[in-house]
């Protein structure tokens, strides 16, 4: 009698502790083109705190760079469905106007050459806007201003699910003491 056993790694979502379409950016690692001061760390934009006042210490902030950018590393490739951004309330809300959201796997030009999901026309002071990315795939999500200015983001949420294509599936026959049987690995 042959028994077929299939061991499937359920999904990267289980391994990473994420469920389908969660905020994949929350408390990951972020970086940016420069640092305005000690309050403007890139990781502030993914701390889960939507306070929109810079002095609260929950917003990122660059120097006035020639093409300022901010990027989060999701650590694995994801299908990105939505990117939600909270703008500053206390100053300079217009600085976000024209920023581009880019998603992909490349770090060429700091990820700013990855495919574009959306262009932010404007976000009201302290407001939150959501942009549809229709399942674009990538490990990196970037926000870049294609002009000289400061870039400040008070929260960035990335609604995404892990890309499980290529996750190994182990298929084998039991009983294990039957040496004529073999195991093989497939990719999904």
pLDDT for 81: 98
Task: Quote the pLDDT of residue 14.
Answer: 37
- What distance lies between CA 152 and its chain's CA centroid? 17
Q: What is the pLDDT of residue 175?
A: 52
Is 34 within the bounds of a domain?
yes
Which of left, alpha, beta for 27 (phi over 0: left; psi -120 to 50: alpha)?
left
Domains in the chain: how many in total? Answer: 1
Length reported for the chain: 188
Q: Does a structural domain hold residue 124?
A: yes
pTM over 0.85: no
User: Is the N-terminal amide bond of 76 cis, ω within 30° of 0?
Assistant: no
Domain that holds residue 154: 24-165
pLDDT block averages, 10 residues each, the chain of length 188: 41 41 94 97 97 96 98 97 98 96 97 98 98 98 98 98 76 50 47
Is residue 118, in this structure, part of any structural domain at all?
yes
Position 20 scores a pLDDT of 57
- Residue (of 66, 33, 24) closest to 153 by Cα position: 33
pLDDT at residue 161 in the model = 96
Residue 143 lies in a domain: yes
Tell me the CATH number at 121.
2.60.120.260
Task: Say if residues 67 and 151 touch (Cβ distance below 8 Å).
Answer: no
Classify residue 75: in a domain, yes or no.
yes
Confirm whether 170 is domain-assigned.
no
């Amino acid at each position: 009698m042959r028994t077929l056993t299939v061991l499937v790694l359920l999904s990267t979502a289980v391994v990473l502790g994420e469920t389908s379409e969660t905020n994949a950016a929350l408390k990951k690692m972020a970086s940016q083109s420069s640092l305005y001061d000690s309050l403007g760390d890139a990781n502030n934009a993914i701390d889960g705190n939507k306070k929109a006042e810079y002095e609260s210490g929950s917003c990122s902030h660059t120097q006035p760079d020639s093409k300022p950018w901010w990027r989060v590393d999701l650590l694995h490739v994801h299908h990105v469905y939505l990117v939600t951004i909270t703008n500053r309330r206390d100053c300079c809300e217009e600085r976000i106007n024209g920023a581009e959201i880019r998603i992909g796997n490349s770090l060429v030009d700091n990820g700013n050459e990855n495919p574009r999901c959306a262009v932010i026309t404007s976000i009201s002071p302290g407001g939150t806007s959501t942009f549809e990315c229709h399942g674009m795939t990538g490990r990196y999500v970037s926000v870049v201003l294609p002009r000289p200015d400061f870039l400040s983001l008070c929260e960035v949420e990335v609604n995404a699910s892990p890309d499980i294509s290529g996750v190994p599936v182990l298929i084998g026959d039991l009983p294990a003491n039957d040496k004529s049987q073999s195991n093989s690995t497939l990719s999904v």
